[in-house]
Amino acid sequence: MVKWDADGGRIATTMFEAAAFRRGVRIRCDCGHTAVLNPYRLWWHFHSKHLDDEIEATMRCFRCTKCRRRGRVSIDMIDGGWTETALPMPSESEWKRAVARFRC
Ligand SMILES: [Zn+2]
Protein backbone atom coordinates (compact mmCIF):
# COMPACT_ATOMS: atom_id res chain seq x y z
CA MET A 1 0.00 0.00 0.00
CA VAL A 2 1.35 3.40 -0.94
CA LYS A 3 2.01 5.84 1.90
CA TRP A 4 2.46 9.59 1.53
CA ASP A 5 4.85 11.92 3.33
CA ALA A 6 4.00 15.39 4.65
CA ASP A 7 5.03 16.97 1.32
CA GLY A 8 2.74 14.73 -0.72
CA GLY A 9 5.57 12.46 -1.89
CA ARG A 10 5.08 8.72 -2.14
CA ILE A 11 6.83 6.58 0.46
CA ALA A 12 7.85 3.14 -0.75
CA THR A 13 6.90 0.34 1.61
CA THR A 14 8.10 -2.50 -0.64
CA MET A 15 11.09 -3.04 -2.91
CA PHE A 16 8.68 -3.07 -5.86
CA GLU A 17 7.43 0.41 -4.93
CA ALA A 18 11.03 1.63 -4.49
CA ALA A 19 11.74 0.51 -8.05
CA ALA A 20 8.46 1.88 -9.42
CA PHE A 21 9.22 5.25 -7.79
CA ARG A 22 12.88 5.05 -9.00
CA ARG A 23 14.23 5.42 -5.47
CA GLY A 24 17.66 4.24 -4.39
CA VAL A 25 17.54 1.97 -1.35
CA ARG A 26 20.04 3.28 1.22
CA ILE A 27 20.99 0.70 3.82
CA ARG A 28 22.87 1.74 6.94
CA CYS A 29 24.49 -0.74 9.27
CA ASP A 30 24.94 -0.12 12.98
CA CYS A 31 28.73 -0.05 12.34
CA GLY A 32 28.32 3.05 10.17
CA HIS A 33 28.73 1.38 6.77
CA THR A 34 26.27 2.66 4.17
CA ALA A 35 25.36 1.37 0.71
CA VAL A 36 22.81 2.55 -1.83
CA LEU A 37 21.33 -0.40 -3.69
CA ASN A 38 19.54 -0.63 -7.01
CA PRO A 39 15.79 -1.04 -6.30
CA TYR A 40 15.12 -3.03 -9.50
CA ARG A 41 17.76 -5.60 -8.63
CA LEU A 42 16.54 -5.79 -5.02
CA TRP A 43 12.92 -6.25 -6.07
CA TRP A 44 13.91 -8.98 -8.50
CA HIS A 45 16.07 -10.72 -5.87
CA PHE A 46 13.18 -10.97 -3.39
CA HIS A 47 10.47 -11.56 -6.01
CA SER A 48 12.29 -14.37 -7.85
CA LYS A 49 12.91 -16.18 -4.55
CA HIS A 50 9.27 -15.74 -3.49
CA LEU A 51 10.38 -13.71 -0.46
CA ASP A 52 8.41 -10.87 1.12
CA ASP A 53 9.71 -7.61 -0.41
CA GLU A 54 8.17 -5.37 2.24
CA ILE A 55 10.91 -3.04 3.48
CA GLU A 56 10.48 -4.02 7.14
CA ALA A 57 10.64 -7.73 6.27
CA THR A 58 13.78 -7.35 4.15
CA MET A 59 15.81 -5.64 6.89
CA ARG A 60 16.72 -8.93 8.57
CA CYS A 61 18.07 -10.30 5.27
CA PHE A 62 20.92 -7.86 4.72
CA ARG A 63 24.44 -8.69 5.82
CA CYS A 64 26.93 -5.83 6.12
CA THR A 65 29.90 -6.24 3.76
CA LYS A 66 32.14 -4.42 6.25
CA CYS A 67 31.40 -5.96 9.67
CA ARG A 68 29.59 -9.11 8.36
CA ARG A 69 26.72 -8.79 10.87
CA ARG A 70 23.21 -9.53 9.66
CA GLY A 71 19.98 -7.66 10.26
CA ARG A 72 21.40 -4.62 12.09
CA VAL A 73 20.37 -2.12 9.44
CA SER A 74 18.05 0.77 8.80
CA ILE A 75 16.66 1.50 5.35
CA ASP A 76 15.54 4.70 3.71
CA MET A 77 15.01 5.84 0.14
CA ILE A 78 16.97 8.45 -1.78
CA ASP A 79 16.84 9.83 -5.31
CA GLY A 80 18.97 7.57 -7.50
CA GLY A 81 22.64 7.17 -6.70
CA TRP A 82 22.71 3.38 -6.47
CA THR A 83 25.99 1.69 -7.23
CA GLU A 84 25.34 -1.99 -6.50
CA THR A 85 25.68 -4.31 -9.49
CA ALA A 86 26.09 -7.77 -7.96
CA LEU A 87 22.43 -8.80 -8.06
CA PRO A 88 20.85 -9.67 -11.43
CA MET A 89 18.42 -7.30 -13.12
CA PRO A 90 14.90 -8.47 -13.96
CA SER A 91 14.22 -8.87 -17.66
CA GLU A 92 12.21 -6.09 -19.24
CA SER A 93 9.26 -8.46 -19.73
CA GLU A 94 9.31 -9.49 -16.03
CA TRP A 95 9.36 -5.85 -14.97
CA LYS A 96 6.52 -4.92 -17.35
CA ARG A 97 4.44 -7.86 -16.09
CA ALA A 98 4.95 -6.72 -12.48
CA VAL A 99 4.00 -3.12 -13.31
CA ALA A 100 0.85 -4.34 -15.09
CA ARG A 101 -0.15 -6.31 -11.97
CA PHE A 102 0.52 -3.24 -9.80
CA ARG A 103 -1.83 -1.07 -11.87
CA CYS A 104 -4.75 -3.51 -11.60
ZN1 LIG B 1 28.36 -3.20 9.47
User: Which pLDDT band holds residue 80 (cuts at 50, 70, 90)?
Assistant: confident
Distance (angstroms) between ligand 1 centre and the Cα of 88 equals: 23
Give the mean model confidence (pLDDT) for residues 3-18: 83
pLDDT tens, residue by residue, 32-75: 999 999 999 999 999 999 999 999 999 999 999 999 999 899 99
Percent of the chain that is helix, strand, coil (3-state, to 5): 35, 25, 40
Q: Closest Cα partner for 16 from 102, 103, 104?
A: 102
First-to-last CA distance in the chain? Answer: 13
Distance 30 CA to ligand 1 centre (A): 6
pLDDT for position 39: 94
Could you give the number of structural domains in the chain? 1
Q: In this structure, are residues 15 and 39 in contact, taking their beta carbons and an 8 Å threshold?
A: yes
Q: How far is the CA of 64 from the centre of ligand 1 (A)?
A: 4
Alpha-carbon span 23 to 78, nearest angstrom: 6
Domain range holding 18? Answer: 3-103
| pLDDT at site 104 | 58
CA 97, CA 80: separation in Å to the nearest integer?
A: 23
